Amino acid sequence: MTAVAQKGTFRISGEIGKLNAPATAYLDYYSAGEKRLDSMKIRDGKFEFTGTFEGIHGAYLMLDHRGKGDPHDVLHVLLQAEPVRLVSKDSIMNAHSEGSQFYASWERLNKQLAQVNAGIRREERALKTSSSNSDNMEKYEALRKKRDKQQKMVYLAFVKDNPANRISLYALDASVNKSKDPEKYTELFATLSDEVRNSEAGKAITKVMHAIKSRGLNKVAPDFTLNDADGKSISLSKFRGQYVLVDFWASWCVPCRNENPHIVQAYEKYKNKNFTVLGISVDKTTMREAWLQAVKKDKLTWTQVSDADNEVGKLYGIQSIPQNILVNPKGIIVATNLRGEALSQKLAEILK
């Protein structure tokens, strides 16, 4: 999850007791829109990771004490321009920062989130030891939703209590989906200090919110042109006269891949009733083969184009995937984020 936009380099170093190889540290993060997993052997308890980031970016620092490729010692960290040094006698999860007031506020937020997670884990353990019930899966799902709700409450409280802290941009992204609830997001963003809102990351968010509002319901969908796998230019305006689902996805996005069967089902049912799909892959150019393989494996037979440079994503204010937009024959946006059965239900309503 990223509070968009300022670009820079990060440095996270640490000292965890006197560990040595084969103990291995890992950093799981995103850079330039691509998922990365960096690793290094620990020497005399020390490690250091450097790289590039965009915005205020969360990542996971993991430690495999035995070097078996199975790191269970995990800490949620923050990637930002100020160097961070973490120390602990025994584990990553117990590490704390040295000399950074800014990072200390992140650790306080993390501690509250950890308390939420610990409470949910206790309930999960209690559920495991109870007699087997056919509705256990439903109970686990209810616990997941409870955890998500409580975490969002923690993030939201941080935003309200820390209007002058740049981490509030990250917490705001974690508590409110700007695409699904732009009004609430804008309202909370306005409560942040002038310094935070006018920071590079804050200005980028303002730009994104403008893009999101410009492609809201009953607005004309902004036109664009992208290339398909064969290099042929495809414009959204080409689909005027049809209902078209503009679907933003990627081969590496598990929720996107899980959503594809629903889109395939809707496409097969309504493709002869003035409906089609325009798939927009946000895979980077280095992922071209993975994109094409995913198209084939998921049986996506409609038009597919590449937005490897995220130009259309920026135009539409797309901050996360999967996302989709349903455009009517006149080019007007009539629905957004139709997930699961919601797509078929909407099409049944309008294509009677």
Residues with a known catalytic role? 256
Positions of E strands within the chain: 2-16, 24-31, 34-41, 46-64, 73-79, 84-88, 96-97, 225-228, 233-235, 243-249, 275-281, 303-306, 323-327, 333-336
Q: What Cα–Cα distance (Å) separates residue 124 from each residue in 117, 140, 146, 147, 161?
A: 10, 7, 12, 11, 31
Q: Is 232 exposed, middle or buried (0-12, 13-18, 19+ CB in 10 A)?
A: exposed
A 10 A CB-CB count for 217 gives 11
Distance CA 141, CA 244 (A): 33
Instruction: Pick the closest to residue 170 from 132, 134, 196 (CA basis).
Output: 196
> Reduced to 3 states, what is the DSSP secondary structure of residue 163?
coil
Distance CA 201, CA 253 (A): 25
Distance separating the N- and C-terminal Cα atoms of the chain: 39
Q: State the sign of the Cα–Cα–Cα–Cα dihedral 154, 155, 160, 165.
A: positive
Distance CA 190, CA 52 (A): 29
